[in-house]
Chains A and B, each alone.
Chain A
Amino acid sequence: MHRSADDRLFRMTTGIFAALVLLLVVGIGFELWRQSLLSIEKFGFKFWTGRVWDPVSGEFGALPFIWGTLYSSLLALLLSTPIALGIAIYISELSPRMLRQPLSYMTELLAAIPSIVYGLWGVFILTPIVRKLELLTPAALRKFPLFSGPPLGVGMGTAAIILSIMVVPFTSSVAREILKNVPIAQREAAYALGATRWEAIKVAMGYGKTGIIGAVMLGLGRALGETIAVTMVIGNNPQISLSLFAPQYTMAAVIANEFTEAADELYLHALIEIGLLLFIITIIVNALSRLFIWSTKRRLVNIISIPPVVEEEKAA
């Protein structure tokens, strides 16, 4: 009576704050849509296929940015995934006990560095190195579209490198969690059949396959949204090119650079429409990633097993 009334009040009051969080997310989506209406109405679907981004003449085609974001993120995944998985495997399966804490801490440190610092390092340290590498590229390779173009230092390649460094800690820490929770019984089954240590690790990875895919997608989500570090090293040129040497442009970068310069409303709305797409893409990627990770974790947690012998001796 008295108890349940006050309970209901508590529930409602705290619930309002919880609803606020929900409202925030919905609100972001709504506002993004509302503030890009001018552009949506004017260009429609052609916005996403148009290659020309010319604010002066009022022509807005976002394809170069979509390309830049997807290409840079894909490259970052290609570079970061093997390294992140290698780290996860090393820390959870191979490293001496003593090294585990410090190594995992140092990997997390990578995630703690602000992206402006990555950008600074990228501009002043990495870009000159990449430029030297580009200059050293043999003429034979230069013929390929992947390595064509003048050696500027800034470009897709540099951006991909920086992005991959930033993504590694995210993928690696989730992958480590997954591997930690694979039941020992699976590895024992492999060993008992005469597997080598690497083969047993592969069995464990296979068991946590879905979760590991989720970990990689988490990294993808991170790469898609990264703004500052990328814009400082990618060259900010809205061209579509396969070349790692070529300066290109991403969705997040163009918003960061041109937002305050958007003189007219259409320009602003076009930029915000790009933001809307970025919002939708990252929601989907992150939601899928959580789904994969959560479904694996649930399966793993339900079948946890400890070698009976260790239990037996511990009890003795």
Chain B
Amino acid sequence: MMTTIEMERIATPVNREPAESGKGTSKISVQNFDFYYGPAKVLHSINLEIPDRRVTALIGPSGCGKSTFIRSINRMNDIIPNARAKGTITIDGRDIYAAGTDVVALRRRVGMVFQKSNPFPKSIYDNIAYGLRIGGMHNKRELNALVEKSLIRAALWDEVKDRLHEGAFTLSGGQQQRLCIARALAVDPEILLMDEPASALDPIATTKIEELIWDLKVNYTIVIVTHNMQQAARVSDRTAFFMLGRLVEYADTKTIFMNPKEKMTEDYVTGRFG
């Protein structure tokens, strides 16, 4: 897969001191979380602890609320009119739904990659530099260094290093998605939310993304929504099974797939529905 040199480069944090919290402890704590679109309640009393620097997968049939849930972690749902949240989600002990929360700062700590890649109609370089620039970084040298680091982390550097100033749309679908990952990584988030990141990609590109996730978890807490159970099984440490807006079961991935406690979970992972 990767050379030791490349793995070493990835293992060093982008521009952050080594984390204080140990691996595996709770990073995101969700308590009694409800969510409403207008009068319709779409998430019911979700209780969940997402561990630090692990990959947590959210699975479940269409419409079960996993996308709504993941978007609540970086408060992306705020831009949807008539959307309302109840309950708490704390990151490192601070409730992100408390009054007076700086949502802009929150979204820099919690990065997001979307189902369909959405690069800006700019150059590859400018896409990655975007987050840095709005954060106030304008020094050419610093930008160059961080753009390179982000692209290396997203396993895209070798493929684009000679054409950083070409448009993002000249890349293939899989490369665009990795570009979006690099863009998200550039602002140095602690948490990475991925909403079905590979669902629009071919198998080879999907594999590359999965490898990437595996390498990234050394430094980032990753929450990934997927409808592909094999992917969840391959890539994640913990898995949460959602159904009709409720959290049915949450355990180590091995347990969910080999030894689920709930019948509904078993039915779903064995393909009896969904």
Which A positions have Cβ atoms within 8 angstroms of B? Answer: 97, 183, 185-196, 199, 203, 206-207, 305, 307-310, 312-313, 315-316
Contact call A313/B63, Cβ cutoff below 8 A: yes
Which residues on the B side are within 8 Å of A199 (C-beta)?
134
Taken together as a complex, chains A and B put the C-alpha atoms of A195 and B115 apart, in Å, by 20
Contact call B40/A313, Cβ cutoff below 8 A: yes
Q: Least Cβ distance of B40 to chain A in Å? A: 7
Contact call A312/B81, Cβ cutoff below 8 A: no
Beyond contacts A183-B118, A193-B130: 16 other A-B pairs, Cβ-Cβ < 8 A, are A186-B120, A188-B79, A189-B114, A190-B130, A193-B131, A193-B134, A193-B183, A194-B135, A194-B187, A195-B107, A308-B115, A308-B196, A312-B63, A313-B37, A313-B65, A315-B63
Residue of B nearest to A195 (CB): B134
Contact call A313/B112, Cβ cutoff below 8 A: no
**With A188-B79, A193-B108 known to touch, is A309 a contact of B114 (CB < 8 Å)?**
no
Which residues on the A side are within 8 Å of B111 (C-beta)?
192-193
B180 an interface residue at 8 Å Cβ cutoff? yes
Taken together as a complex, chains A and B put the C-alpha atoms of A183 and B183 apart, in Å, by 19
Q: Provide the B70-110 mask, 1 if CB < 8 A to any CB of A, else 0.
A: 01001011011100000000000000000000001111100
Contact call B104/A196, Cβ cutoff below 8 A: yes
Which residues on the B side are within 8 Å of A191 (C-beta)?
76, 79, 107
Across the interface, A185 reaches (CB within 8 A) one of B42, B63, B107, B118, namely B118
Across the interface, B76 reaches (CB within 8 A) one of A192, A203, A207, A313, namely A192
Taken together as a complex, chains A and B put the C-alpha atoms of A9 and B191 apart, in Å, by 69
Taken together as a complex, chains A and B put the C-alpha atoms of A193 and B195 apart, in Å, by 15
Which residues on the B side are within 8 Å of A194 (C-beta)?
104-108, 131, 134-135, 187
Q: How large is the interface on B (under 10, 10 to 19, 20 to 34, 35 or more residues)?
A: 35 or more
Residue of B nearest to A96 (CB): B81
Contact call A312/B62, Cβ cutoff below 8 A: yes
Q: Least Cβ distance of A274 to chain B in Å? A: 42
Across the interface, B118 reaches (CB within 8 A) one of A188, A206, A309, A310, namely A188
Which residues on the B side are within 8 Å of A188 (C-beta)?
76, 79, 112, 114, 118
Contact call B120/A193, Cβ cutoff below 8 A: no
Which residues on the A side are within 8 Å of B68 (C-beta)?
309, 312-313
Contact call A189/B120, Cβ cutoff below 8 A: yes
Closest 8 CB pairs of A and B: A316-B63, A194-B108, A185-B118, A193-B131, A192-B112, A194-B107, A309-B67, A189-B118
Q: Least Cβ distance of A199 to chain B in Å? A: 5
Taken together as a complex, chains A and B put the C-alpha atoms of A188 and B71 apart, in Å, by 11
A-B contact pairs, 22 of them (CB 8 A): A97-B81, A185-B118, A188-B112, A189-B118, A190-B120, A192-B111, A193-B107, A193-B108, A194-B105, A196-B134, A199-B134, A207-B121, A305-B116, A305-B118, A308-B67, A308-B196, A309-B67, A309-B71, A312-B67, A313-B63, A313-B65, A315-B62
- Which of A187, A189, A195 is packed against the most chain B CB atoms within 10 Å? A189
Taken together as a complex, chains A and B put the C-alpha atoms of A308 and B115 apart, in Å, by 8
Contact call B116/A203, Cβ cutoff below 8 A: no
- Which of B40, B65, B118, B135 is packed against the most chain A CB atoms within 10 Å? B118
Taken together as a complex, chains A and B put the C-alpha atoms of A310 and B4 apart, in Å, by 43
**With A192-B76, A193-B184 known to touch, is A313 a contact of B120 (CB < 8 Å)?**
no
Which residues on the A side are within 8 Å of B76 (C-beta)?
188, 191-192
Contact call B104/A195, Cβ cutoff below 8 A: yes
Which residues on the B side are within 8 Å of A196 (C-beta)?
104, 134
In residues 3-38 of chain B, which contact A (Cβ within 8 Å)?
37
Which residues on the B side are within 8 Å of A185 (C-beta)?
114, 116, 118
Taken together as a complex, chains A and B put the C-alpha atoms of A120 and B135 apart, in Å, by 51
Taken together as a complex, chains A and B put the C-alpha atoms of A187 and B120 apart, in Å, by 10
Which residues on the A side are within 8 Å of B106 (C-beta)?
194
Q: Provide the B234-274 mask, 1 if CB < 8 A to any CB of A, else 0.
A: 00000000001000000000000000000000000000000
Residue of A nearest to B196 (CB): A308
Which residues on the A side are within 8 Å of B107 (C-beta)?
191-195
Contact call B184/A192, Cβ cutoff below 8 A: yes
Q: Provide the B162-188 mask, 1 if CB < 8 A to any CB of A, else 0.
A: 000000000000000000100110010
Q: Least Cβ distance of B204 to chain A in Å? A: 23
Taken together as a complex, chains A and B put the C-alpha atoms of A181 and B220 apart, in Å, by 35
Taken together as a complex, chains A and B put the C-alpha atoms of A206 and B119 apart, in Å, by 13
Which residues on the B side are within 8 Å of A305 (C-beta)?
116, 118
Taken together as a complex, chains A and B put the C-alpha atoms of A191 and B37 apart, in Å, by 20
Contact call A203/B80, Cβ cutoff below 8 A: no
